[in-house]
Amino acid sequence: MTLDSKVPSGPLADKWDRHRFDSKLVNPANRRKHTVIIVGTGLAGASAAASLGELGYNVLSFCIHDSPRRAHSIAAQGGINAAKNYQNDADSTWRLFYDTIKGGDYRAREANVYRLAQVSANIIDQCVAQGVPFAREYGGQLDNRSFGGAQVSRTFYARGQTGQQLLLGAYQSMMRQVAKGSVTMFTQREMLDVVLIDGKARGIICRNLVTGTLERHVADAVCLATGGYGTAYYLSTNAVNSNVTAAWRAHKRGAFFANPCFTQIHPTCIPVSGDDQSKLTLMSESLRNDGRVWVPKNTGDKRHPNDIPEADRDYYLERKYPSFGNLVPRDVASRNAKAMCDEGKGVGDSGLAVFLDFKEAIGRLGRDTVAGRYGNLFDMYRKITDEDPYKEPMRIYPAMHYAMGGLWVDYNLMSTIPGLHVLGEANFSDHGANRLGASALMQGLADGYFVIPYTLAHYIASTPVAKATTDHDAFKEAEHAVQARINRLLAGKGTKTPRALHRELGRLLWDEVGMSRNDAGLRRALRRIPELREEFWQNVAVPGDPNNLNKNLEYAGRVADYLEFAELLATDALHRTESCGGHFREESQTADGEAKRDDENFAYAAAWAWQGDGNAPELHKEPLVFENVKPSQRSYK
């Protein structure tokens, strides 16, 4: 199969306009006759449901939570990028495009990224119209801050709760459509399969998590906005219920999975404290605007940080990257933290942490200003660690945070299954091998508010679909398969909990497919994962009733999917012998230890096709063509 990205021809800056003009439309009076299923209610899913509902489509929206407002977009802290140039610091659509392509280490599609930069400004306008309370200057205008990987201030924010405010804006817009009847909300539903009729995505099978009932839903098209797969690592900054199940089940029905090895390890998280920890907490990257990262110059210096004089401190990011300093991109910051700890300069009991110090900022700006910018983050840090960051430096360490990889989509956000569209973090499209800070919110909302309303209309208008009901054999077959898998899980009367097995998988992935990867380690992981999977099915304990709220059963199903997905993740990491962005192969580095790309052999998106249980996945390549930027060795020095 040849992957057709469907990128329109013509100059980069005109592609989206031209594409919108060339796209077919659905007459307003006909839209209500078309049903669209949207799975997930984070930024991408909620904004898509609201926008499509406003246009008049019959939208069915699904989420696993008790309310759509709980989706994990809500936890995003720092901000959202937009090329507004409100700060008069030479920002532009072109610069946001360039920063994003370069930040992604030249592994994203030019046309998608340019479109993202183009619509970024509309997102801010839309959110302000909804009443999102962005931070403002005394003159009443919007305030901006700067973020990693950029030398301009283009990040809009609402204290340290930007994701919350943007999500509530999208959620409220969606609830308005629920009241109007154009969106029907299905909460506490977990999508467990995509249903294909005549090769097109026509519905889903989901489990009602409260009653245990399996439900069939039919539509003209399906959109997945189900987030990333970071929880495969067990400990991550993702919510504990975030999972890969919907995307993975779609993959097994024919949607290619692209670049799964492009994972983002976020540099500023609260370090691991013990074995019982269930998640890691992010400290927003915005802290690096004013916080200075350092370690003791001498290995084994166990003095209290406040007792270590300036002369004995190594502000290693400022030293190694004078032009970007503490604001280097996330992958660079994470790798350097690991390198310092590997040299024995790590701090804290575990030695797996570095300092993030606000003493200089508090001296320069005053405690009140620092509290105004980061107060809620400081409070969160104090609650978790029992230490006061106003008085002593924070200890931080990298943690799994975001998935740049995801289901492969074309320019229209459609996967390799016709009619199955993928939005937000669940797709692979815009961030290449490394996402810049404050760009996830931008992409989720771009996909939902400003891309899918056009591209889905084109799909619906140009694709005749047969009338179908949920009595179709394809629904029966899919429901039967889902039921069989649930029965198999419930038959598990072993002694190991899903959590214990998940924790074991997570440790393996963190050690072998984490911040730094090599051939031997990846091969070890690929040997171990099938063993763990075998152990899961032999020895997992899933007590309780299937016809009732059974969170352990839900969790067991997700862990079973991680155990399949992890193998693809490691396979992709092994095949890509270059380093790029968040994917660092020890065999491929420059003389000074930076990621070394291999454009000759790897300038492509790796899209994997499922070949059935026990068979190796098949690799398809989408070549990445750069007509407007020249891939170069990234330098933040």
Partner 1 sequence: MKVHLKVWRQSGPNVKGRLVDYTADQVSPDMSFLEMLDSVNETLIAKGDDPIAFDSDCREGICGTCGVMVDGRPHGPDSCTTVCQLHMRRYKDGDTIVIEPWHAKAFPLIKDLVVDRSAFDEIIQAGGYTSVNTGGAADANAILIPKTAADEAMDSAQCIGCGACVAVCKNAAAALFTSAKVTHLSLLPQGQMEAAARVVAMVDAMDTAGFGGCSNEGECEAVCPKGITLKNIATMNREYRKAMFANR
**Active site annotation includes 330:** yes
The single residue among 165, 236, 289, 415 that binds partner 1, judged by CB under 8 A, is: 165
Around Cβ 468, how many Cβ atoms within 10 Å? 18
Please tell me whether residue 350 binds partner 1 under the rule CB under 8 A.
no
Given a contact cutoff of 8 angstroms between Cβ atoms, the answer to whether 84 and 438 are in contact is no
Which parts of 72-101 interact with partner 1 (CB under 8 A)? 72, 74-75, 84, 86
CB-based contacts of 73, cutoff 8 Å, min separation 6: 42, 43, 44, 163, 166, 167, 441, 444
| Phi, psi at 251, each rounded to 5° | -60, -45
CB-based contacts of 147, cutoff 8 Å, min separation 6: 78, 79, 81, 154, 155, 285, 286, 289, 327, 436, 437, 438
Q: How far apart are CA 60 and CA 254, in angstroms?
A: 23
Using the minimum distance from each CB to partner 1, give the nearer residue, 131 or 344: 131
Please give the C-alpha separations between residue 231 and each of 243, 401, 507, in angstroms, as whole numbers: 6, 9, 12
Looking at residue 446, what DSSP letter applies?
A: I
70-78, 333-341, 457-465, 483-491 -> range binding partner 1 (CB under 8 A) = 70-78
The residues pairing with 183 across neighbouring beta strands, listed in sequence order, are: 59
The single residue among 23, 184, 241, 470 that binds partner 1, judged by CB under 8 A, is: 241
Please report which residue ranges of 66-188 form alpha helices under DSSP H. 93-103, 110-130, 162-180
Which parts of 375-394 interact with partner 1 (CB under 8 A)? 379-380, 383-384, 386
Which parts of 465-494 interact with partner 1 (CB under 8 A)? 493
Please tell me whether residue 499 binds partner 1 under the rule CB under 8 A.
yes
Q: How far is the CB of 124 from partner 1 (least distance, A)?
A: 5
How many positions of this chain bind partner 1 (CB under 8 A)?
Answer: 85
Using the minimum distance from each CB to partner 1, give the nearer residue, 162 or 588: 162
Q: How far is the CB of 556 from partner 1 (least distance, A)?
A: 9
The token pair at 149 is 């990987």
Using the minimum distance from each CB to partner 1, give the nearer residue, 548 or 611: 548
Q: Which of 231, 234, 278 is nearest to 506 (CA)?
A: 234
Please tell me whether residue 128 binds partner 1 under the rule CB under 8 A.
yes
Q: Which of 107, 216, 249, 330 is catalytic?
A: 330
Which parts of 266-285 interact with partner 1 (CB under 8 A)? 273-274, 276-279, 281-282
Q: How far is the CB of 365 from partner 1 (least distance, A)?
A: 17
Please tell me whether residue 115 binds partner 1 under the rule CB under 8 A.
no
Q: Which of 91, 178, 188, 75 is nearest to 425 (CA)?
A: 75
The single residue among 25, 30, 67, 306 that binds partner 1, judged by CB under 8 A, is: 67
Q: What angle do CA 124, 125, 127 make, to 5 degrees?
A: 65
Please tell me whether residue 365 binds partner 1 under the rule CB under 8 A.
no
Query: What is the pattern of x (binds partner 1, CB under 8 A) and - over residues 409-448?
Result: ----------------------------------------
Conformation bin of residue 8: beta by default, left when phi > 0, alpha when psi is -120 to 50: beta
| Phi, psi at 634, each rounded to 5° | -65, 135
Please tell me whether residue 122 binds partner 1 under the rule CB under 8 A.
yes
Please tell me whether residue 229 binds partner 1 under the rule CB under 8 A.
no
Q: How far is the CB of 154 from partner 1 (least distance, A)?
A: 13
- Beta strands of 514-579 (E only): which ranges? none
Instruction: Say what the alpha-carbon torsion angle 444, 445, 447, 449 is, to the nearest 10 degrees.
Output: 160
Using the minimum distance from each CB to partner 1, give the nearer residue, 274 or 309: 274
Please tell me whether residue 450 binds partner 1 under the rule CB under 8 A.
yes
Using the minimum distance from each CB to partner 1, give the nearer residue, 255 or 380: 380
7-15, 68-76, 105-113, 462-470 -> range binding partner 1 (CB under 8 A) = 68-76
Q: Which of 51, 184, 176, 52 is nearest to 126 (CA)?
A: 51
Given a contact cutoff of 8 angstroms between Cβ atoms, the answer to whether 259 and 459 are in contact is no
Which parts of 562-621 interact with partner 1 (CB under 8 A)? none
The single residue among 9, 27, 138, 627 that binds partner 1, judged by CB under 8 A, is: 138
Q: What is the 3-state secondary structure (H, E, C) of 237-271?
A: CCCCCCCCHHHHHHHHCCCCEECCCCEEEEEEECC
Using the minimum distance from each CB to partner 1, give the nearer residue, 185 or 261: 185
| Phi, psi at 205, each rounded to 5° | -110, 130
Which parts of 516-555 interact with partner 1 (CB under 8 A)? 541-545, 548-549, 551-552
Using the minimum distance from each CB to partner 1, give the nearer residue, 131 or 593: 131
Using the minimum distance from each CB to partner 1, give the nearer residue, 556 or 607: 556
Please tell me whether residue 135 binds partner 1 under the rule CB under 8 A.
yes
Please tell me whether residue 514 binds partner 1 under the rule CB under 8 A.
no
Which parts of 179-208 interact with partner 1 (CB under 8 A)? 179, 185, 187
What letter represents residue 561's amino acid?
Answer: D
Q: How far is the CB of 314 from partner 1 (least distance, A)?
A: 28
Using the minimum distance from each CB to partner 1, give the nearer residue, 370 or 574: 370
Given a contact cutoff of 8 angstroms between Cβ atoms, the answer to whether 261 and 521 are in contact is no
The single residue among 11, 28, 140, 623 that binds partner 1, judged by CB under 8 A, is: 140
Q: Which of 231, 249, 229, 223 is nearest to 47 (CA)?
A: 223
Please tell me whether residue 164 binds partner 1 under the rule CB under 8 A.
yes
Q: How far is the CB of 567 from partner 1 (least distance, A)?
A: 25
Using the minimum distance from each CB to partner 1, give the nearer residue, 151 or 350: 350
Q: What angle do CA 235, 379, 268 make, to 5 degrees?
A: 40
Q: How far is the CB of 136 from partner 1 (least distance, A)?
A: 4
SS3 (DSSP) at 509: helix
Q: Which of 304, 288, 286 is nearest to 296 (CA)?
A: 304
Q: How far is the CB of 79 from partner 1 (least distance, A)?
A: 14
The single residue among 97, 171, 355, 562 that binds partner 1, judged by CB under 8 A, is: 171
CB-based contacts of 531, cutoff 8 Å, min separation 6: none
Using the minimum distance from each CB to partner 1, give the nearer residue, 85 or 516: 85
Give the catalytic positions in this structure: 330
